[in-house]
Amino acid sequence: GQNIDQPTEMTATEGAIVQINCTYQTSGFNGLFWYQQHAGEAPTFLSYNVLDGLEEKGRFSSFLSRSKGYSYLLLKELQMKDSASYLCAVRDGDYKLSFGAGTTVTVRA
Amino acid sequence: IAGITQAPTSQILAAGRRMTLRCTQDMRHNAMYWYRQDLGLGLRLIHYSNTAGTTGKGEVPDGYSVSRANTDDFPLTLASAVPSQTSVYFCASSDYAESPLHFGNGTRLTVT
């Protein structure tokens, strides 16, 4: 199977920046996704990286280094509504999507 | 509103009973997936289907079966439920292999 690691929990203050790291080892690679999941809800798509570099989308940015098997999700200008679980997911050579266990981010006032 | 519909929303089931979780999408997506989500383990792929008429096994397929008779429907069947199958089950779909997954709202299943 795939091996996808991300921190279990992170806490940050409203207005601050938080970086969630994700490392992976997969058989083949066809893209890395970040999803947001609020408690009791379905995951929703945030970002997609398939080439090395930074993808920016509003307050959220995602970075990928394929050679290092590494990605991060950067959340800027944190808001209380950003308190959620953030899931790193990697699509392997067979196009199956495997998820990390998720990082729970708590935003404090 | 286009999307994925899962039914039931929640279910309590006696061990040994048969149960089918329903999933229907109206986006004409080619690929569909079933995941289970357990605390501390994240989302784990049970079965998937890249196109109507084909299915494949994911990471945790034992005890589950699926069928994909048409593009829209992808039911998940537990032939004889066991307590370890207590989980939240998410159905998802994607337009093509490279596109992001869209998730249904999930089915919370408790096997007693």
Q: How far away is chain A from the Cα of B17, in angstroms, using its nearest Cα?
A: 26
For chain A, percent of residues with pLDDT exceeding 70: 99
Q: Is the CB of A1 inside 8 Å of chain B's CB atoms?
A: yes
Answer yes or no: is pLDDT of A95 > 70.
yes
Nearest CA in chain A to B100: A45
DSSP A15-73: T--EEEEEEEE-SS---EEEEEE-TTS--EEEEEE-SSEEEEETTEEEEEETTTTEEEE
What are the tokens at B106?
A: 């999930």
Neighbours of A67 (CB within 10 A): 6
Please give the pLDDT value at position A50: 94
Please give the pLDDT value at position A96: 87
Kindly calculate the radius of gyration of chain B based on its CA atoms and give it in whole angstroms. Answer: 13
Q: How confident is the model at residue B1 (pLDDT cuts 50, 70, 90)?
A: low
User: Which residue from A105, A2, A90 is spatially nearest to B100, judged by alpha carbons?
Assistant: A90
| A74 close to A35: Cβ distance less than 8 angstroms | no
Answer yes or no: is pLDDT of A1 > 60.
no
pLDDT tens figures, B46-104: 999 999 999 999 999 999 999 999 999 999 999 999 999 999 999 999 988 678 999 99
Residues in A closer than 8 angstroms to B43, CB to CB, are 43, 87, 89, 99
Nearest CA in chain B to A7: B40
- Can the peptide bond before residue B100 be classed as cis, meaning omega within 30 degrees of 0? no
Chain-wide mean pLDDT for chain A?
Answer: 95
Quick one: average pLDDT of B8-22?
A: 97
Euclidean distance between CA atoms B92 and A82, whole angstroms: 23
Q: Is the CB of A7 inside 8 Å of chain B's CB atoms?
A: no
For chain B, percent of residues with pLDDT exceeding 90: 89
